[in-house]
């Protein structure tokens, strides 16, 4: 039986952000992901609201996505989906542009934070995003914010509001993030494991080793739970995406 491992966070699109520098590196990353057991991956290039023009961002990332899909065709590489990683900005929850940030036309959005953005205004925006816009944010690499003054408030908020979170596979091997990442997984704060791969040298895919580490350190049920969550998200995302395509055909 093929185990579906869905990487929900990657920077494999060529020459659009600080990820893959060209199509060759993008294909190398996909090959590494295949060897790492990843069957499906979503490309999530950075969107920075203070510096990126939305229309220009959409144009260049969509073109890069088409180029990569075309180059990968017939090579038996992981299936590629399209999204972005948006940096939090004030009034995100009521922004008309928020639907452009969704993962492949689904109701999910990958959201990057900063240490100083975790305020009452942030909590208000995220509540509006989920409850008024119907879009579910996934907090990217939550382990990175553990030194933020309001980190405990963030954990309490995501738990009470049922906001999903993601950790990076590489953080389990980092002297800075290993301990907090394991703790967050064990205490049930983490829903997804992802590579956040940027290049073949900088943060390459480590999904297989990370799942092995989780199994040995915390227990098989934790690793299986993260795999199951990603598979269920892929199923839901694909279903929503198909509906989106039909409605916009």
Tell me if 169 is assigned to some domain.
yes
CATH code for position 31: 3.20.20.140
Taking 70 as the pLDDT cut, the residues of the chain under it are 1-2, 240-249
Distance, in Å, from the CA atom of 78 to the CA atom of 221, rounded to the nearest integer, reads 25
Question: Which phi and psi (to 5°) does residue 82 adopt?
Answer: -125, 130
Q: Three-state SS for 139?
A: strand
Task: Supply the pLDDT for residue 236.
Answer: 86
Task: Supply the pLDDT for residue 240.
Answer: 60
Q: What is the maximum alpha-carbon separation in the chain?
A: 49
Tell me if 48 is assigned to some domain.
yes
What residue has token string 């491992």? 5
CA dihedral 42, 183, 161, 111 (to 10 degrees): -30
Distance, in Å, from the CA atom of 157 to the CA atom of 177, rounded to the nearest integer, reads 21
Q: DSSP letters along 81-98, please?
A: EE--EEEP-TTGGG-GGG
Helix count and strand count (H, E) for the chain: 7, 9
Tell me if 1 is assigned to some domain.
no
Task: Supply the pLDDT for residue 33.
Answer: 98
Task: Supply the pLDDT for residue 185.
Answer: 98
**Owning domain of residue 12:** 6-247
Task: Supply the pLDDT for residue 237.
Answer: 81
Tell me if 62 is assigned to some domain.
yes
Distance, in Å, from the CA atom of 57 to the CA atom of 170, rounded to the nearest integer, reads 27
Task: Supply the pLDDT for residue 66.
Answer: 97
Q: Alpha helix (H) ranges present in the chain?
A: 23-35, 54-72, 120-131, 151-160, 178-186, 207-217, 220-247
Number of domains comprising the chain: 1
Task: Supply the pLDDT for residue 2.
Answer: 66
Tell me if 153 is assigned to some domain.
yes
Q: pTM here?
A: 0.94
Tell me if 43 is assigned to some domain.
yes
Tell me if 198 is assigned to some domain.
yes
The pLDDT tens digits for 166-222 are 999 999 999 999 999 999 999 999 999 999 999 999 889 999 999 999 999 999 999
């Amino acid at each position: 039986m093929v185990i579906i491992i869905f990487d929900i966070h990657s920077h494999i699109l060529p020459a659009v952000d600080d990820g893959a520098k060209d199509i060759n590196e993008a294909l190398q990353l996909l090959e590494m992901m295949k060897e790492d057991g990843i069957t499906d991956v979503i490309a999530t290039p950075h969107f920075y609201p203070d510096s990126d023009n939305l229309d220009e961002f959409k144009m260049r990332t969509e073109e890069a996505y088409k180029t990569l899909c075309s180059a990968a065709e017939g090579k038996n590489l992981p299936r590629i989906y399209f999204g972005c990683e948006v940096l939090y900005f004030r009034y995100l929850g009521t922004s008309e542009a928020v639907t452009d940030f969704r993962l492949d036309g689904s109701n999910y959005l990958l959201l990057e934070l900063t240490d100083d953005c975790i305020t009452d205004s942030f909590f208000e925006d995220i509540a509006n995003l989920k409850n008024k816009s119907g879009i579910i944010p996934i907090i990217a690499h939550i382990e990175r914010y553990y030194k933020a003054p309001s980190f405990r408030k963030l954990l309490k908020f995501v738990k009470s509001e049922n906001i999903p979170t993601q950790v990076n596979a590489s953080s389990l091997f980092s002297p800075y993030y290993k301990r907090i990442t394991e703790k967050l997984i064990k205490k049930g704060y983490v829903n997804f494991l992802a590579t956040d791969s940027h290049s073949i040298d900088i943060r390459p895919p480590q999904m297989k080793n990370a799942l092995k580490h989780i199994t040995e350190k915390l227990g098989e049920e934790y690793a299986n739970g993260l795999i199951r969550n990603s598979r269920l998200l892929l199923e839901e995302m694909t279903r929503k995406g198909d509906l989106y395509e039909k409605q916009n055909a």
